[in-house]
A and B are shown apart, each in its own frame.
Chain A
Amino acid sequence: MSAEIFDRVKNIIVDRLGVEEGEISLQSSFKDDLGADSLDVVELVMELEDEFDMEISDEDAEKINTVGDVVTYIASQK
């Protein structure tokens, strides 16, 4: 389950942030490792909401730092 979520999240990150898939791990920080700024994160959250057909509240979105945070969050909501 988590592996499948991770793959789908990775695809979005590759597309939106222009990074190589190999650079993305569960530990990757969006801001420090993947070069995302605050606007990129807002857009990523919107993409994730579409991809996983869910709503991520602003409060929850603010807690997201790493790719692992996203995967865990999505898995917990499913």
Chain B
Amino acid sequence: MKRRVVITGMGVISPVGNDVETFWNSLINGKSGIRKIDRFDTEGFATTIAGQVVDFNPEDFIDRKEARKMDRFVQYSVAAAIQAMNQSGLKLDQENAERVGVYIGSGIGGLETLCEQHSILKERGPRRVSPFFIPMMIGDMASGQVSIYFGAKGPNSSPISACATGTNAIGDASKIIERGAADVMLTGGSEAAVLPLTVAGFNAAKAMSTSYNETPEKASRPFDKDRDGFVLGEGAGVLVLEELEHAKKRGATILAEVVGYGMSGDAYHITAPAPEGEGAARAMKAALHDAGIEPSAIGYINAHGTSTEFNDFFETQAVKSAFGEHAYKLAMSSTKSMTGHLLGAAGAIEAVACVQALREGILPPTTNLDQPGEGCDLDYVANVARKADVEYVMSNSLGFGGHNASIIIRKYND
């Protein structure tokens, strides 16, 4: 029999709250975390807004000496992991350490550190580049530092699939447990890319919203006809995944179960989705197949829903292709309307939202959805959260490079 994988802990650092409770309350109350960027001078930038993490003090979580050696994306991941482990109640010791792994990804990695050190190299020469530059910057270091913090000696690696990273991480980590290579995995995604270089780059690619700089809370408007690009966000989500019997044996509170995972590649274009969202549709179908359920079992989808013209149109088509008639019966929302797009962390915080939706019986809304765009004709839970008792939810993440990932989470039943 297949080893079942359950969720026993969750942690979040996000533009709408730095713990699960605050994050969730923001989502169901339609509270936006999109503001004017205050990290750097945005003079001359086409976009001057983002979803920034506020009131985050790394020293609330990490020793100052250690925090200094971490890029912001690593600090976020360690903080989210600490929250998740606290909720799980799991303690590591010599007995279990080798059965506990870490698999946390980042789409961009330590770009802030890279930019700083590159400036030092240019201005002051090679001898002034920090010995911590490389171990701060490399994108695997969330997994590295989290394992060091907890002494987790099991499987350890780090996925990168741009904006699909968080969902790929959770899906892959669930399979590591399923196949017996670990009993517990700390998994998710982390991102800290609200930086001049990233904003300039996404602007150059014409991917980000530019029309709502004076009304930041209105900028992320997935599926709305006046959407004009995604809004950059940052933060981290970390989940503790655990083999069911392992969790039961230690009397853990089981939050939900990961029951399906599918992924696919578009093999089409570096940034644009494949026509009709066919790649995304295949990932969704693969997840349904993996879960062994009919499409009609899914009650809610947390959409990738980036608020770009292409994504929202093609993702809607993809859902229709994967779900047939049931596409019009299920509810689908994009919480990016409030958090912005956390890139590699998006799938991770959205998985947390999915678990909360299952547990609380509330579907978070898509805010700023005043008038659906052309071809966007599904039930997007417009503007107001909705009570709904659902058993299965799906979370989609789609990344530059043509990466498509979907996971299915089920309400826990013994």
Contact = CB atoms under 8 A, between A and B. Distances in A.
Contacts of A42: 131
Name the interface size band of chain B.
10 to 19
A18 B64 contact: yes
Interface in B164-190: none
A43 B128 contact: no
A12 interface: no
Contacts, number: 18
A17 B64 CA distance: 9
Nearest to B132: A39
A43 B65 contact: no
B131 A39 contact: yes
B132 A43 contact: yes
A46 interface: yes
A42 B131 CA distance: 7
B215 interface: no
Interface in A32-76: 35, 39, 42-43, 46
Highest count of chain A CB atoms <10 Å: which of B63, B65, B68, B130: B65
Contacts of A46: 127-128, 130-131
Interface residues of A, number: 8
Contacts of B63: 18
Contact of A18 (B65, B127, B131, B132): B65
A48 to B, nearest CB: 13
Contacts of B127: 46
Contacts of A39: 131-132, 135
B340 to A, nearest CB: 33
A42 to B, nearest CB: 4
Nearest to B130: A43
Interface in B129-149: 130-132, 135
B65 A17 contact: yes
B131 A43 contact: yes
B217 to A, nearest CB: 39
A27 B128 CA distance: 28
Interface in B59-96: 63-65, 68
B128 to A, nearest CB: 7
A25 B267 CA distance: 62
Contacts of B130: 43, 46
A43 B135 CA distance: 13
Nearest to A41: B131
Interface string B100-134: 00000000000000000000000000011011100
A77 B193 CA distance: 43
Contacts of A35: 65
B66 to A, nearest CB: 8
Contacts of B135: 39
Interface in B231-249: none
Contacts of A16: 65, 68
Interface of A: 16-18, 35, 39, 42-43, 46
18 contacts: A16-B65, A16-B68, A17-B65, A18-B63, A18-B64, A18-B65, A35-B65, A39-B131, A39-B132, A39-B135, A42-B131, A43-B130, A43-B131, A43-B132, A46-B127, A46-B128, A46-B130, A46-B131
